[in-house]
Amino acid sequence: MALDPALIAKTYEAIKPATMRTPTVHAARLSLHLGIDLYLKLENLQHTNAFKARGALAKLLTLNAAERAAGVIACSAGNHAQGVAYHASRLGIPAVIVMPEGTPFNKVKRTKDFGALVVLHGTGFDESVQFTLDMAAEKGMTFVHPFDDPVVAAGQGTVALEMLEQEPDLDVIVVPVGGGGLIAGMAVAAKSVKPAVQIIGAQAANFDAVKAQFDQVGTNFGGSTLAEGIAVREPAAANLAVIKTHVDRVETATEAEIEAAVFDLLSYEKIVAEGAAGAGLAIVEKHAKDWHGKTVGLVVCGGNIDSRLLSTLILRGLVRDGRITRLTFEIDDTPGQLSDISRIIGEAGANVIEVIHQRMMQSVSLKQAELEIVIEARDQSHVAETVGQLRDAGFKVRADSDLG
């Protein structure tokens, strides 16, 4: 079965009754910030908070009665697992999901909550997939691949049909890339509707297998990535062939850029997104000048980010923006010093959120003390103003941001 516009159109009609038509919204604040007209396709609002539910449903709907009775099996640590589990449960199809050992408990629980039997095996997708194939053969179950299947890719391609129905004037569509199913399906669909639209792939620099194949250069695998949903070492050969034909280019983003982009989606647009979507926005931010005056679409492909990771990311983002800063003082160890410092910080309009008063573990002289105060400010310039007022009052202080 070939991945072509006819298959995607047929698949769209098949999955439409049980798939959310997620909104494509204008990102007003980011558009103003970047100087482009940016629209976000909010697949993080899909039933399982990711686009993967589309391809999973598309595959399940092709099963005959005997295959449904025998059940399905999939290998995934995240969004594909939940997509298969959700729709299999809804359709009354038994489902087994093989997840790597060490998969975060919340992902295991969510998959179980959708009614699937979860089996933990291996340390990653590459180790788990052969075990999954062996189990499928042993039990007579249908294996639902996360990206190496034209029907699954066609299901993902329906995202592009909706985007161009909702915003026909899109000049560029940026798509996160892992195994290639999403961008292959979307590229075929989009080019069939609007041949002039540019399709740009977005990868994590630590997992750039598709870009390496696209550009015919060496591949980088640099350890962990925040964009774990697209951390794929071996994209599907069929998807690569489609990408080379229909995709304009593939770009990569560093971990720092991805982290900053996830924070920007949250702070500018109040959208919770996972790292894969952050890779997409990072590419938009890097190339915004090239697209000045153009209408750009971005697939916010999922929102399943760990809450603890998100909380740390938010704090780091506030520190990066200067809205949370640590000030370090060398003060005389006499009464009233902390009171005076707190008063000046308050008068400057900043807020004290933590105080650490060191007397023992420090390098200053015996009659002095080292004081660390974490403050909340409006931005970096406000931090600089506050530090200036403290220094004018005679305090020896340095800021982590090195603004003074």
- Span 111-137, pLDDT tens digits: 999 999 999 998 777 778 889 999 999
CA 373, CA 399: separation in Å to the nearest integer? 10
The DSSP code for 207 is B
Q: pLDDT by residue (tens digit) across 136-155?
A: 999 999 999 999 999 999 99
Give the amino acid at 245.
Answer: T
The helix (run of H) or strand (run of E) holding residue 249 is strand 249-253
Distance CA 365, CA 285 (A): 48
pLDDT tens sequence across 161-170: 999 999 999 9
In angstroms, rounded to a whole number, what is the distance separating the alpha carbons of residues 231 and 219? 13
Are the C-beta atoms of residues 231 and 225 closer than 8 Å to each other?
Answer: yes
Beta pairing, strands 72-75 & 95-99: parallel
At residue 256 the predicted structure's pLDDT band, cuts being 50, 70 and 90, is: very high
For residue 249, which of 309, 278, 208, 218 has the smallest C-alpha distance?
Answer: 208
Question: Which residues are within 8 A (CB) of 54 and not within 5 positions of it... i.e. 6 or more apart?
Answer: 15, 19, 46, 83, 155, 156, 158, 159
Asked whether residue 359 carries a pLDDT value surpassing 80, the answer given is no
pLDDT for residue 104: 75
CA dist., res. 185 & res. 58, Å (int): 12
Euclidean distance between CA atoms 279 and 232, whole angstroms: 14
Question: Does residue 402 or residue 107 have the better pLDDT?
Answer: 107
Nearest C-alpha neighbor of 268 from the set 210, 224, 317, 234: 317
Q: What b/e string do you get for 349-379 counting C-beta neighbours within 10 Å, with b at 16 or more?
A: ebeeeeeeeeeeeeebeeebbbbebbbbbee
Q: What is the Cα–Cα distance from 208 to 312, expressed in whole angstroms?
A: 26
- Tell me the one-letter amino acid at 162: E
For residue 360, the model assigns a pLDDT of 55
Query: What's at 200, amino acid-wise?
Result: I
Q: CA 88, CA 53: separation in Å to the nearest integer?
A: 10
CA distance 261 to 358: 36
Q: Distance between CA 198 and CA 218 in Å, rounded?
A: 25
User: In this predicted structure, what is the pLDDT of residue 366?
Assistant: 53
CB 182 within 8 A of CB 192: no
In which order are the strands placed within the sheet that holds 95-99? 117-120, 95-99, 72-75, 142-143
Whole-angstrom distance, CA of residue 251 vs CA of residue 109: 34
Share of the chain above pLDDT 90, in %: 80
What is the rounded average pLDDT of the residues 79-84? 94
- pLDDT, position 363: 59
Computed over every residue of the chain, the mean pLDDT equals 92
385: Cβ contacts below 8 Å, ≥ 6 apart = 348
Judged against a pLDDT cut of 80, whether residue 353 lies above it is answered with yes
CA end-to-end span of the chain = 64
CA–CA dist 142, 133 (Å, integer): 9
pLDDT per residue as tens digits for the range 283-328 = 999 999 999 999 999 999 999 998 899 999 999 999 888 899 999 9
Q: Which residues of 204-239 are buried (b: 16+ CB within 10 A; e: fewer)?
A: bbbbbbbbbbbeeeeeeeeeebbbbbbbbeebbebb
Tens digits of residue pLDDT in 179-223: 999 999 999 999 999 999 999 999 999 999 999 999 999 998 877
pLDDT > 70 fraction of the chain, expressed in percent and rounded: 96
Question: Which stretch of 78-87, 204-213, 385-394, 395-404 has the lowest confidence by average pLDDT?
Answer: 395-404
pLDDT band at 373 (very low <50, low <70, confident <90, very high): very high
Integer Cα distance of 52 and 30 in angstroms: 26
Query: Hunting for tokens 């049909």 — which residue is that?
Result: 161
Q: How many CB atoms lie within 10 A of CB 128?
A: 22
